[in-house]
Amino acid sequence: MSEANFAFVATSEKPQLPPPQGTTGAVGWMRENLFSSPLNIILTLLSAYAVFSTVPGIFNWAFVNSVWNATSLDECRAMTQDGACWAVIRERYPQFLFGFYPSELYWRPILAFVLLGVALVPALWDGMPKRGAALMASMTFPFVAFWLIWGGFGLEPVSSTQLGGLLLTMIIGVSGISFSLPIGIILALSRSSNLPIVKSLAVMFIEFIRGVPLITLLFTAHVLLNYFLPKGVNFDIVLRVVIMVTLFASAYMAEVIRGGLAALPKGQYEAADALGLGYWQNMRLIILPQALKISIPGIVNTFIGLFKDTTLVLIIGLMDPLGLVAPTLADQRWNGIFVELYAFIAFMFFIFCFAMSRYSMYLERKLHTGHR
Amino acid sequence: MSVSTVPADTSFQFSQLWRDARYRSYTIQILALVVALSVAMMLVMNAVENLKELGKDFSFSFLFEPAGYDIGQMLVEYSSASAHWKAALVGLLNTLLVAFLACVTATIIGVFVGVLRLSNNWVVSRLMAVYIEGVRNVPLLLQILAWYAVFIHVFPAPKLAVKSPVIEGAVYATNRGFYIPGLTFEGSYQVVVATLIASIIGMVVFRRWAHQRQEATGQILAVGWISLGILVLPTFLVYFASGMPIGLDYPVAGKFNLKGGVKIGTPLVALWFALSIYSAAFVAEIVRAGIMAISKGQTEAAYALGLRPRRTMSLIVLPQSLRIIIPPMISNYLNITKNSSLAIAVGYMDLTGTLGGITLNQTGREMECMLLLMATYLLISLSISAVMNAYNESVKLKGR
Amino acid sequence: MKKMILPIALGAAFAAASFSAASAGTLEDVKERGKLRCAVSTGLAGFSFTDENGQWQGFDVDYCRAVAAAVLGNPDAVEFSPATGKTRFTMLASGEVDILSRNTTWTFSRDADLKFTFLGISYFDGQGFMVKKSLGVSSAKELDGATVCIQTGTTTELNLSDYFAGQGMSYEPLPIETNTEGRANYLADACDVYTTDASGLAASRATFENADDHIVLPEIISKEPLGPLVRHGDEQWADIGRWVLNAMKIAEEKGITAANADEMAANSKDPEVKRLLGASGEMGASLGLDNDFALVAIKAVGNYGEVFERHLGTDTKVNLARGLNAMWTEGGLQYAPPFR
């Protein structure tokens, strides 16, 4: 029996046939993703209509027909009928960035912004050489920023009433974020501890804060805090707001982290106990690193929420970017230009919040080690 | 750490309070309690002293004095001669109204968007992603203000709106709000209402019976049609039999505003709209996560059993994903309720606007107003979570 | 948990820097701080607004500058905090500001219940209504059923309700927080009527593109004596505020202006002028100030009439006649107690 008798057995691989027409390339992709069923076709057409009826209009409004050089809304309208009047932003952007901060001292908040960026590098980039030392250096940032922004010790003092715009948002947001995480961890640990008194105190605090709107807390900071402090002790309004925003965010943070703690298999706790670790070692080395990792999306969502919630300070009269819209509109030259202002502020917040959410997704992917 | 470690010396040493795990938990707890109590005491003492210093007393009697201000949107009878507590009640109902409306619409839009986001249609899912990301990353307060500005600038003033009605003689959209026909009650309308309530109860009973019957015998009734009939027919018959006691009150053009009908003011519309659009993005993400968490095997197994896609969805996938969806949904509803307090930015008189706003300002009773305000919100939040948790309990996986 | 060190340290730094020392008296606090803290309106043409350089200007603002000049010798040593109708009283009560100069009506309950001391009347005002001419309304009595824009937390809210109830008319309130919002809503036709103090109406109308399309109705439905105010309990500080305002009025009565103040101080024969400008007597010292406090203040902002004409007068866009706010010698109500 020689092999030659089995002529139908192929000894060499046949060349692959091309895939059927229309299942590859652009056409195939469209068939698959856009026109796979009648419902899909309708949806696609509807979406396409929605996109084509809005996007070019917005694009033209924002870029093509927009006006950058004008000194009043009337002047803008004279130049273009259906374009954005970004001139107001061009004229007022220092206010939207720094509020009423003295203009000759702008370098101070700018330097603080830059330093914040530098200080964040070691915290966000874990592959950085000499990360430990850099983190220590980052920790001096709050002092430096505080000194730069409020002055004193050789710099001209600037009062809190002059803070505003994005600067105020960043002050409240950054300090709120950096305070609420540790406080939230402590609260979460208290709530899931087996000490009944500590636990119930934590439950009361968390449920109270989560049960009331942030506005009422800000009102309290604004209206009532002075009643609760000894006579003569007076907190700065920005500090009061930071405290309230932090307390608010920590309660939410605590719940997020508690979720992470609860999601850990009981075996982790038991194994750590079996190793003879004390409570704090146990938490620090075994439980928290895992629990925090699980909670990253929730933590970052809380951060984003906090950052967005900083706009609420306008209700108690602080001049955050949104609060500055009213004084701008009060200027008779810019009366009625709200769309551009709202669009600009929305864009500003979007950048920060979107960046934060993307970073959390990146972190999630990177730390995903297969088990939950 | 050997097994034979037995405390030889049983006399108590002071350092044991901290070093010995048996006592340490007591030490920590007592310390925490002392700290918490002394902070609370300090706050209360300070408040008492400061109030005394300012010559203010602590009393809720102001609630029974005439409020003296008017409110634009209200669900119960109220005038400026009514007492402050009545104003607070109007505010509370307004809060609940907008929160309820926003929860309903946010859920509807959110489920829709969440499902479309998962669609395999590339354009649609991208579009939904843009919507979700765009809305979630912009502060809600800004969105409320922006929608309000859009509403008052885009819709015509009442004078012009009368000339271009949405539905001639019945529905008008103005920049001050939407006008729709209202209901008028006269004669023996109670009978009609009672019949309606009875039919609703009847319908529920019927559905339960039909379900049990199906479980027992396997026979399926046309439940949908029959319950619709039970709901509609008796009410209609009674309505016409009793001489149509419930009529419609149409809005008509007045000198300044439209008169009659029901007015849904722009502040309410803007707030409702903004809250719905904003919260729907969160609902969409919750729904998406819920559906994605159900493994594909569940669907395939259901197909293998011969269930059709719709039944698979309603009997297999949805009940399971509901379990995942409900807890985050609860906190989302709570958030909507709390966020409704931003009403103050557009002049919608909710609880924060009346009790925590004008009443506080006109009476100067900061402490009392803020305490009441917080207590009320706390109560609302706790009730919502209690109800929703009970529901969650009822759909939770039993056993195991 | 290295991250925890950072916030704790930040907190400590924050707290250390923000605890202010126990207050001995507002005057000492202001002097020590070197700045006067003054709450003004968030934006009301003529009364308080920011110019293109971000500097606060206006009638209410100038009063603050006068006080700063009298107390600290520098009219620019003021920190202005914009306050809405709602936040103003809490700002003052909580000690966040030293003085509130934001066209605030002097009423019994604000004096007795809210525990504030009014320093005098800087502007006699009354609540009015503004409508569009196209509505064809010529009297407030024809406003039955109208939608009214109204600032919350003000006396106007209560007056309005009383007035309509008294006339047996109804209205729909549209509550707003600031004058800017009120103007935006009114111009967008979200309300038919805008009501606030007549001066505020004139000020808003002045900024409209077509001011002639709007009219202020003849009815004035309330007395609105506007003035600056301080907290109860610090009489010295209240006296300073009161007498700076009075000094500005007396200066107008005596013909002292920013330009001629120095000369008047040196050459005037009038004993009251000499006392006022610190050329004789020890009047300032009894307030805890320099003797020439009024001279410094008047040199900084001018007398009452000058301030009025500069920000509100008939040559400005606001275009308000002196009316009730003329000196008593000219037939108005502005009348300062004698400086002796």
Give me the residues of C, 76-115, that contact B with CB < 8 A. 85-86, 89-90, 93, 109, 113-115
Tell me, what's the pLDDT at A26? 78
Give me the residues of C, 12-31, that contact A with CB < 8 A. 13-15, 17-23
Residue A141 pLDDT greater than 60, yes or no = yes
3-class state of residue A337 by DSSP: coil
Torsions phi, psi for A248 (to 5 deg): -60, -50
Tell me, what's the pLDDT at B357? 85
Q: CA-nearest residue of chain B to A307?
A: B139
Interface residue of A308, A313, A364 to substitute, partner B, most B CBs within 10 Å:
A308
Q: What are the structure tokens assigned to C10, written together?
A: 């930040």
Q: CA-nearest residue of chain C to B268?
A: C174
B59 CB-near residues (< 8 Å, 6+ apart): B368
Which pLDDT band holds residue B8 (cuts at 50, 70, 90)? low
Q: Which residues of chain A are within 8 Å of residue B381 when distances are taken between CB atoms?
A: 210-212
Distance CA B167, CA C199 (A): 43
Tell me, what's the pLDDT at C13? 45
Closest by CA to B298, choosing from B315, B282, B281, B316, is B316
Distance CA B12, CA B6 (A): 14
Contact criterion met (CB < 8 Å) for A223 and C94: yes
Distance CA C45, CA C202 (A): 9
Can you state the angle between helices A131-139 and C5-18, rounded to 10 degrees?
20
Contact criterion met (CB < 8 Å) for A214 and B338: yes
Q: Which residue has the higher pLDDT, B14 or C102?
A: C102
Query: Is C42:A327 a contact under the CB 8 Å cutoff?
Result: yes
Q: Which residues of chain B are within 8 Å of residue A350 when distances are taken between CB atoms?
A: 134, 137-138
Q: Which residue has the higher pLDDT, A21 or A311?
A: A311
Tell me, what's the pLDDT at C3? 43
Interface residue of A171, A332, A333, A338 to substitute, partner C, most C CBs within 10 Å:
A332
Distance CA A308, CA A323 (A): 13
Contact criterion met (CB < 8 Å) for A50 and B127: yes
Burial class (CB in 10 A: 0-12, 13-18, 19+), C329: exposed
**How far off is chain C from A202, nearest CA to CA, in Å?**
19
Distance CA B278, CA B94 (A): 19
In whole angstroms, what separates CA A43 from the centre of its chain? 32
Tell me, what's the pLDDT at B282? 94
| Residue range B136-151: mean pLDDT, rounded | 92
C-alpha dihedral sign at A322, A323, A326, A331: negative
**How far off is chain B from A95, nearest CA to CA, in Å?**
18
B250 CB-near residues (< 8 Å, 6+ apart): B169, B170, B181, B260, B261
Tell me, what's the pLDDT at A7? 64
For residues B249-272, b (16+ Cβ closer than 10 Å) or e, as one string?
ebbebebbbbebbebbbbbbbbbb
Q: What are the structure tokens assigned to C90, written together?
A: 């809490």
Nearest-CB residue to A161 (from C17, C20, C79): C79
Domain boundaries, chain B: 16-48, 84-181+250-395
Closest by CA to B258, choosing from B312, B311, B181, is B181
| Residue range B134-153: mean pLDDT, rounded | 92
Parallel/antiparallel/unpaired status of strands C171-176 and C146-151: parallel
Chains near C with 3+ CB pairs less than 8 A apart are A, B
- Give the bridge partners for C44, in sequence order: C48
Residue B399 pLDDT greater than 60, yes or no = no
Query: Is C180:C149 a contact under the CB 8 Å cutoff?
Result: no
Question: Tens-of-pLDDT digits for all 340 residues of chain C?
Answer: 344 444 444 444 444 444 443 445 889 889 988 889 999 987 777 888 877 677 888 999 999 999 999 999 999 999 888 887 777 887 888 778 899 998 888 988 888 878 899 999 999 989 999 999 988 888 888 898 889 999 887 788 888 988 998 889 888 888 888 787 888 888 888 889 999 888 888 888 887 878 888 988 888 888 889 999 998 888 899 999 999 999 999 999 999 999 998 898 888 888 889 889 888 888 888 888 888 899 999 999 999 999 999 988 888 877 888 888 999 998 889 989 998 8
Q: Which residues of chain C are within 8 Å of residue A284 when distances are taken between CB atoms?
A: 1
Distance CA A372, CA C177 (A): 50
Contact criterion met (CB < 8 Å) for C42 and A330: yes
- Which alpha helices (DSSP H) does chain B contain, by range? 16-19, 21-54, 84-117, 122-136, 140-154, 158-161, 189-217, 223-241, 266-293, 296-304, 309-311, 318-339, 351-353, 360-363, 366-395
**How far off is chain C from A59, nearest CA to CA, in Å?**
26
Distance CA B264, CA B270 (A): 10
User: pLDDT > 90: what percent of chain B?
Assistant: 30
Q: What are the structure tokens assigned to A61, written together?
A: 């409004």
CATH number of the structural domain B84-181+250-395? 1.10.3720.10
Which pLDDT band holds residue A4 (cuts at 50, 70, 90)? low
Residue A279, number of CB atoms within 10 A of its CB: 15
3-class state of residue A145 by DSSP: helix
Contact criterion met (CB < 8 Å) for A146 and C179: no
Closest by CA to A327, choosing from A84, A164, A170, A149, is A164
Contact criterion met (CB < 8 Å) for C82 and A317: yes
Contact criterion met (CB < 8 Å) for C145 and B257: yes
Q: Which residues of chain A are within 8 Å of residue C32 when distances are taken between CB atoms?
A: none
Q: What is the identity of the amino acid at B97?
A: L
Q: What is the ipTM of this complex?
A: 0.86
Which pLDDT band holds residue B89 (cuts at 50, 70, 90)? very high
- Domains, chain C, in order of start with CATH, read 25-124+226-330 (3.40.190.10), 127-222 (3.40.190.10)
DSSP string over B8-57: S--S--TTHHHH-HHHHHHHHHHHHHHHHHHHHHHHHHHHHHHHHHHT--
Q: What is the DSSP letter of A18?
A: P
Distance CA A302, CA A252 (A): 7
Contact criterion met (CB < 8 Å) for B373 and A346: no
Distance CA B96, CA B261 (A): 22
Q: CA-nearest residue of chain B to C114?
A: B364
Q: Which residues of chain C are within 8 Å of residue A232 when distances are taken between CB atoms?
A: 20-23
Q: Which residues of chain A are within 8 Å of residue B338 when distances are taken between CB atoms?
A: 212-214
B209 CB-near residues (< 8 Å, 6+ apart): none
Q: Which residues of chain B are within 8 Å of residue C135 when distances are taken between CB atoms?
A: 256
3-state secondary structure B314-337: HHHHHHHHHHHHHHHHHHHHHHHH
Distance CA A365, CA A354 (A): 17
Contact criterion met (CB < 8 Å) for A146 and C14: yes
Distance CA C50, CA C81 (A): 12
For residues A34-54, b (16+ Cβ closer than 10 Å) or e, as one string?
beeeeebeebbeebeeeeeee
Write out pLDDT tens, residues B249-284: 888 888 888 887 888 889 999 999 999 999 999 999
Least confident of B345-354, B364-373, B388-397, C227-236: B388-397
B56 and C CB contact within 8 Å: yes
Contact criterion met (CB < 8 Å) for B374 and A212: yes
Q: What are the structure tokens assigned to A159, written together?
A: 């009062």
Q: What is the identity of the amino acid at C303?
A: N
Burial class (CB in 10 A: 0-12, 13-18, 19+), C242: buried
Burial class (CB in 10 A: 0-12, 13-18, 19+), C135: middle
Least confident of A326-335, B317-326, B333-342: A326-335
Tell me, what's the pLDDT at C9? 47
B361 and C CB contact within 8 Å: yes
Tell me, what's the pLDDT at A306? 92
**How far off is chain B from C28, nearest CA to CA, in Å?**
21
Query: Is B142:A349 a contact under the CB 8 Å cutoff?
Result: yes
Q: CA-nearest residue of chain A to B37?
A: A201
| Residue range A28-57: mean pLDDT, rounded | 84
Nearest-CB residue to A139 (from C6, C181, C184): C6
Distance CA C195, CA C127 (A): 7
A182 CB-near residues (< 8 Å, 6+ apart): C1, C3, C4, C7, C8
Tell me, what's the pLDDT at B19? 74
3-state secondary structure chain C: CHHHHHHHHHHHHHHHHHCCCCCCCHHHHHHHHCCEEEEEECCECCCEEECCCCCEECHHHHHHHHHHHHHHCCCCCEEEEEECCCCHHHHHHCCCCCEEEEEEECCHHHHHCCCEEECCCCEEECEEEEEEHHHCCCCHHHCCCEEEEEECCCHHHHHHHHHHHHHCCCEEEEEECCHHHHHHHHHCCCCCEEEEEHHHHHHHHHCCCCHHHEEECCCCCCCEEEEEEEECCCHHHHHHHHHHHHHHHHHHHHCCCCCCHHHHHHHCCCHHHHHHCCCCCCHHHHHCCCCCHHHHHHHHHCCHHHHHHHHCCCCCCCCCCCHHHCEHHHCCCECCCCCC
Contact criterion met (CB < 8 Å) for C83 and A225: no
Interface residue of C90, C131, C149, C174 to substitute, partner B, most B CBs within 10 Å:
C174
Write out pLDDT tens, residues B163-208: 877 777 788 888 888 888 888 877 777 888 888 899 999 989 988 9
Cβ-Cβ pairs closer than 8 A, A with B, add up to 156
Distance CA A150, CA A141 (A): 14
**How far off is chain C from A182, nearest CA to CA, in Å?**
6
CA distances from B296 to A349, B115, B300, B312, C140 (A): 38, 16, 6, 12, 70
Contact criterion met (CB < 8 Å) for A322 and B123: no
Closest by CA to C135, choosing from C148, C153, C116, C154, is C148
pTM of the predicted model, to two decimals?
0.83
C229 and B CB contact within 8 Å: no
Q: What is the DSSP letter of B66?
A: B
Nearest-CB residue to C184 (from A159, A161, A329): A329
Chains near A with 3+ CB pairs less than 8 A apart are B, C
DSSP string over A176-225: HHHHHHHHHHHHHHHHTSS-HHHHHHHHHHHHHHHHS-HHHHHHIIIIIH
